[in-house]
Structure formats: structure tokens, C-alpha cells
Amino acid sequence: MGDLHVHSLLVTGANRGIGLELVRQFLGMPSPPAWVFAACRDPKGQRAQELQNLASKHPNLVIIPLEVTDPASIKAAAARVGEHLQGSGLNLLINNAGTAKASSLDDETLENMTQIYTTNTVGPLLLGQAFLPLLKKAAQGTPGSALNCSKAAIINMSSSAGSIEEVFLWNYGQVVSYRCSKAALNMLTKCQSLRYRDCGVLCAALHPGWVQTDMGGSGRTFLFPPLRVDESVRGMLKVLSSLSEKDTGTFLDWEGKVVPW
Ligand code: NDP
């Protein structure tokens, strides 16, 4: 396993769940990043209370407003991050924000399909485009030609629910709009890996496991996710630290195992 020495990163959907824990664990590293940009929809509101508490203790944490379905908001976020970085690049973009709606094949609608796809797939596409100049700058400013997450990377938070070969938990929830959006996110990851390789940017899709969050469920139903959020994130950080050239364009889980497309 390599080391993860990230100078700067941005996490979307950072106010709760997996995103918030990613921020916590990056801040808690022995040599934490100089800049942790935590993006969320409402930085000053109640929903960002935990981030605000963290920011009061960690001057390297900057909360950035971001609605991932709004192209203007994405551009504004990239501009803000660029201003903070003052000429240096962004090493790591984690497209974590995501949404799901309980639905079966029979009751999916145009609105559902469009809304979930816009958040889970189009958002990461536009974020990749907007942050590419900063990611390129980070790649250029890091010695060595090999791809890795300490240099420059886009990590897309996918789900095994989007795996076509292993349709995960079908009998418990069809969530067709969600599955389709994550299958498409996987294809986007592949396309990004092909296009951005020459820019020095590694791109990978990660499945965090089935995790105790608002989305994963936290024991209010009979379905109880096996993984605590801190375990999932610890696993994913280990995976990030181990990614290299050969891993760009792959789909891995929180333990580093390949997930079938
Ligand atoms: P949560 O529902 O707990 O959190 C989702 C986060 O995404 C929130 O911060 C939410 O912000 C943000 N978000 C949603 N829509 C938008 C938007 N339009 N613009 C900006 N932010 C938005 O989910 P998890 O933490 O469980 O999931 C994180 C990622 O991991 C998702 O992509 C999910 O698909 C994936 N995943 C999760 C699994 C699990 O078991 N938990 C399993 C497999 C994949 P707000 O508070 O404003 O709504």
C-alpha cells in the first residue's frame, strides 16, 4: 500500500453521511491536507451544523456552497476553490453527493429518472469538467509521471446497486432510477479515465459497501446495513492510498475488491 499525501481535496455532499466522515478522517490524518474543501448545499444552515463545528476547530477546512444539479453553482464552486488555492492545483475531487428514491420499475416516472440521473450522473460529469484545470495543475505540479490519488484524481462514489452483473438487493428494493444512474456513473468514470489519463488524472468508481447512513438505512427498518460509516471510509481511504496507474477506469469496493460492471 502506498501513502496518501493529499495537499488539497474537495468532497461533495459533505454535510452528512459518508461525505462528512470523509472530511473527518482526512482532517484526522497524521499529516492532514493543507486544504479540505467540504461542499454542501446550505453551508450556513442547520444541515451543515457538524461541518461548521469542525470548521471552527480546523482552519484548513473550507465549506463551499454547491448544488450539484446547478451548472452555475458548480462553476462558482470551482472559482472559489481556485481562489483559495492561489495558483496551486487540486489533488482530489470526490464526487460523493448522491440521491435515491424508493421506487419499483412500475412506478418510476420521467421526473424520478431525470432528477436522480441529474444528481448522480450529470453532476459528477460537470464537476469533472469544471475542476479539470485545477486537477491538471496539481498533476503538473507533482513530480513523476505515474497516476495516483496524491497527485490528481477523480473518485466517483458509485454503488454495487449499479452493477449489471450482480444486481444487489433486488428483492429488497428495485430503485431502478438509482441503479440506472449509478450504472451510467460507472460508464462516465470509464470515459473520464480515458480522456483524463493524458492530463495525469486518475479516475475510479468506488462502492462504499452497504453503510449505516440516511441513504443506506440506520436500523429504522428490518434491513440493517452491516457497515458503520467510519469503517467504510477507513477502508476507502486505504483503497485510495493504494490506487495506481493500473487502477484508472476501474470499479472497486471499500476493501479494494473489483466490483463487476
Ligand atoms: P446520504 O443520503 O446520507 O447523504 C447524501 C449527501 O449528498 C448529503 O450530503 C446530501 O446533501 C448530498 N446531496 C444530495 N443531493 C445533492 C445535490 N443535488 N447537491 C448537493 N448535494 C447533494 O448518503 P450516503 O452518505 O449514504 O451516500 C453518499 C454516496 O455513497 C452517494 O453517492 C450514495 O449513492 C453512495 N452509496 C451509499 C451507500 C450506502 O449504503 N449508504 C451504498 C452505495 C453507495 P443534503 O443534506 O443537502 O441533502
Q: What span, in angstroms and rounded, lies between the C-alpha atoms of 218 and 213?
A: 6
pLDDT in tens, 235-258: 999 999 999 999 999 999 999 999
Q: What is the pLDDT of residue 122?
A: 98
Share of the chain above pLDDT 90, in %: 90
Instruction: Please identify every stretch of the chain with a pLDDT value under 50, giving residue numbers as ranges.
Output: none
Q: Report the nearest atom of ligand 1 relative to the CA of 14.
A: 9
Ligand 1 atom 42, closest CA = 210
71-85 and 123-140 are packed helices; what angle lies between their axes, rounded to 10 degrees?
20
Q: What is the pLDDT of residue 254?
A: 98
| Residue the block writes with cell 496551486 | 88
Q: What is the pLDDT of residue 220?
A: 54
Q: 3-class secondary structure for 167-215? A: CCCCCCCCCHHHHHHHHHHHHHHHHHHHHHHHHCCEEEEEECCCECCCC
Q: Which of 10, 11, 15, 18 to mutate to test the pocket of ligand 1 (most atoms within 8 A of CB)?
A: 18
Structure ipTM: 0.99
Q: Report the nearest atom of ligand 1 relative to the CA of 68.
A: 19
| Ligand 1 center–CA 99 separation, angstroms | 5
| Residue the block writes with cell 428514491 | 101
Q: Report the nearest atom of ligand 1 relative to the CA of 161.
A: 43
Q: Which of 44, 64, 99 to mutate to test the pocket of ligand 1 (most atoms within 8 A of CB)?
A: 99
| Ligand 1 center–CA 162 separation, angstroms | 15
Q: Report the nearest atom of ligand 1 relative to the CA of 16.
A: 9
| Ligand 1 center–CA 79 separation, angstroms | 23
| Ligand 1 center–CA 198 separation, angstroms | 30
Q: What is the pLDDT of residue 230?
A: 98
Find, among 63, 120, 91, the residue nearest to 3 by Cα.
91
